[in-house]
Structure 1
Amino acid sequence: MTENKIATIKDVAREAGVSIATVSRVINKSPKAGKASIQSVQSAMKLLGYRPNANARALVNKNSHTIGVLVNDIADPFFGSLIKAVDQVARENNKHLLIGNGYHNATDEREAIELLINSCRKSLIIHAKALTSEELIGFAKEVPGLVLINRYIPEIADRCIAFDNFKGAYMATEFLIQNGHKHIAFINSNHQIDDSFERKAGYLQALKDHNYPSPDNYIVAVDVNDEGGKAGMIELLSKNIPISAVLAYNDFIAAGVLFALEENNIAVPEQISLIGFDNGLISRYVHPKLTTINYPIEIMAKQATLLSLKLAKNEEYTPDTRIFSPTLVKRMSVGKCNLKD
């Protein structure tokens, strides 16, 4: 380091071989900083002559005007709706957003949260599916305004805004059963996350409660997009099993199902009924318009943001709802069963 160059936090991180977020934790004496990290960072600071200064303190004040948001993938319209809702509340409170992608991967989620903590410090809205509950509890202890959305952890229940995925899939399956369907397939997400587990469980429980069989060959797991839905439907058709209805993990998968059925001259809902999940924008513009399960992500995101801002200020706030319930949106893709047993 030359004499006329002032060391920065980036220089310290590079010298210590750690992330900027780790350096920040050491400087701020966070309990998340491990002994080895503390030792290497302190050694690097001493070697480089780095001292936390007025600029660093000014950054802390600046960070009080930001809200961090972690989503799976910003390119997914579902998470675009989440971010837009958070931004609306943020703007009303003179805040700006910083956004990270986690891609349902533990390493990506962890690194994104650490960077958001370093940048935002007080308010975080976290959609994390791959990290353990223990890690998220630890982050919640470090950040006063950390709120989990679409996840429920009993130990930090007051920081959670969640959705009843089980009930949604149960409701969708039961609606198909009420329309006379017995041979109901389920095209699930191939992500190993609680949403896919809970929706599968709801589907199976509805079949069980109505004394209908639930053979494994009626369930496939695919990528969570229209191409995945198309591939899943083709896989089901290739099995040559009787199918009168399909429940899709989300509306984009359902759109792919529609495409596959159209290619094979199978009419919806006359020959196969179809129900989606989420009530995203696409559900209203495919043909036929999708019957689906409404997932009130915008309302949930606004509640989560208000809760985060109140917690960051150490103010009392009780959300109207902590676990949101699904509702059925009836359109044109479900009809009475015409398949003979």
Structure 2
Amino acid sequence: MGTERPATLHDVAREAGVSINTASRALNNKPYVSEATRKLVLKVARELDYRPNHLARSLRQSRTSTIGVVISDIVNPFFAEVVEGIEREAAARGYGIVLANIGHDASREMQVVQTLVDRQVDGVLISPSQPDPDSIEYLINRGVPYCLLGRVFERIPGPAVINDDRAGARMAVEYLLSRGHRRILFLNAAAYSSQARRRLEGYIDAHRQAGLPVDPGLILETDARMHGGYVAMQQALTNKAGFTAVFCFNDFVSFGVVQALRDAGLRIPDDVAVMGYDDVMVSQVVDPPLSTVRIAKTRLGQTACQLLIRILESGPQRRRKQEDKQMIDQDTQHTPVVLPPELVIRRSA
């Protein structure tokens, strides 16, 4: 028994009474097609159950319509929301994604990026874990477009979508100061991260604007995960630093802090107030619900994906000359897109 032949672009064009070129432009949301014609072609395509042949198109265009996405910690729900935004935008624009998790292992970052390039992804969205931008330089040298997620490198000013971390940290600490706290412990991430540096700047800004000195003994660097927050809080309690509030690099660190405070018999916020950063989904259901700084995570992913696709569809990226390590491809000279943060007050502070 034979099977019905799948509909082709030629079938759609014939049924709609337009040329193949017009049908293609309508289906791919290209300009120079009237809205009435576009709607007609889309209606016919649905009726014929037309499915574009992405493989054939990629062979013709030397593109795969795939975007590599490199994240540092798939366990952190922050990245789940970012990837949701990426996937939603990519699908709407006809792209698929290949997701790679580094797992906070900076040594794997280059390996993962090389694998994605070998698989011929059209571009890469990446949240770097390395202190140095080796993987970004590799992408530039290979002529692969990219966009950074949440972090920037000062010496390679490439396309990026970030949160206004300095403003977010300042808002959080200003709130804690307004509640009467004068000794605020700051559990920050590694200083090589642009996010950590900006949040430290915001912490300092808030103290200076209040006319208060900054005690270096209240600033600790920790692993930006739950266990890191737990260990850092145990250390701070052992050192008897005399703090009444804790500002954490992210919500995951805050969860570890809350557990350590409870294990020490301390009440939140009566004995110690806790402020997070990111506003991941579980922050509102933990006990007590976490006060935090909200990042528009889904929007961050969507915006980064839009920016990368704009680069992909604007023409081939000029490669940086291999022999001149100081010459940066002009197509990567972008001012980062900065998203505004929002302070969210719940019961923990």
- How far did 1:62 drift? 7.8
Aligned residue in 2 for 1:69: 69
Instruction: Specify the code of the residue in structure 2 equivalent to 1:291.
Output: S
**Distance in 2 between the 1:59 and 1:80 partners?**
32
Matched residue SS, 1:277? coil
| Higher mean C-alpha deviation, range 178-187 or range 226-235 | 226-235
Q: Work out whether 1:312 is the aligned partner of 2:327.
A: no
Residue segments in structure 1 that go unaligned for 5+ positions in a row: 1-54, 335-341
Match of 1:98 in 2: 98
Do structure 1's residue 329 and structure 2's residue 344 form an aligned pair?
A: yes
Query: How far has the Cα of 1:123 moved from its partner?
Result: 2.4
CA distance in 2, matches of 1:114, 1:297: 26
The equivalent of 1:146 in structure 2 is 146
CA distance 1:133–1:249, shift in 2 (3 Å):
same
Note the 1:169-184 alignment, pairs <5 A.
169-184=169-184
Q: In the TM superposition, what whole-angstrom CA distance separates every residue of 1:146-199 from its partner, at most 9, and x where no partner exists?
A: 222213357875722122212211111111111111011111224742222222
1:130–1:158 Cα change, 3 Å: closer
SS of residue in 2 equivalent to 1:253: helix
After superposition, give the CA deviation of every residue in 1:47-95 in whole Å (9 maximum; x if it has no partner). Answer: xxxxxxxx9x976868522111111122322222222221111222232
Match of residue 330 from structure 2: none
Q: What's 1:263 paired with?
A: 263
Q: Tell me if structure 1 keeps the 8 A contact 2:169–2:200.
A: yes
Gaps of 5+ in 2: 1-54, 316-333
- Structure 1: how far apart are the matches of 2:345 and 2:263? 25
The one-letter amino acid paired with 2:64 is S
SS at match of 1:128: coil
In the alignment, the residues of structure 1 paired with residue 83 and residue 150 of structure 2 have an alpha-carbon distance, to the nearest angstrom, of 14
- How far apart are residue 144 of structure 1 and its match? 5.7
Q: Which has the higher contact order (CA 8 A, sep 6+)?
A: 2
Kept in 1, the 8 Å contact 2:102–2:108? The answer is: yes
CA contact (8 A) 2:168 2:341 kept: yes
Distance 1:61 1:169, change over 3 A: same
Q: Percent identity?
A: 25
Q: Report whether the alignment pairs 1:185 with 2:179.
A: no
Cα distance in 2 between the residues matched to 1:155 and 1:266: 44
Relative to the length of structure 1, the TM-score reads 0.72
Matching residue's letter, 1:195: Q
Equivalent residue of 1:68, what SS? strand
Count of paired positions: 277
Please report the RMSD computed on the Cα atoms of aligned residues, expressed in angstroms.
3.0
What are the superposed Cα offsets for residues 114-139 of structure 1, whole Å, 9 maximum, x if unpaired?
22122244222121242645762562
Cα offsets for 1:211-232 (capped at 9, x unmatched): 2232222122222222222222
Q: Could you say which residue in structure 1 is the equivalent of 2:136? A: 136
Q: How does 1:35-114 map to 2 (within 5 A)?
A: 63-103=63-103, 107-114=107-114
Q: Secondary structure at the match of 1:73?
A: coil
Kept in 2, the 8 Å contact 1:68–1:120? The answer is no
**Does the 8 Å contact 1:248/1:276 carry over to 2?**
yes
Q: Is the 8 A contact 2:89 2:305 kept in 1?
A: yes
What is the CA–CA distance in structure 2 between the aligned matches of 1:219 and 1:60, rounded to whole Å?
A: 55
* Distance change in 2, residues 1:120/1:329 (3 Å): farther
Pairwise mapping of residues 226-241 of structure 1 onto structure 2 (< 5 A)?
226-241=226-241
| Cross-structure match for 2:245 | 245
How far is 1:328 from its partner? 0.3
- Relative to structure 1, is the Cα distance of residues 120 and 89 closer, same or farther in structure 2, using a 3 angstrom cutoff? farther
**1:118 pairs with 2:118:** yes
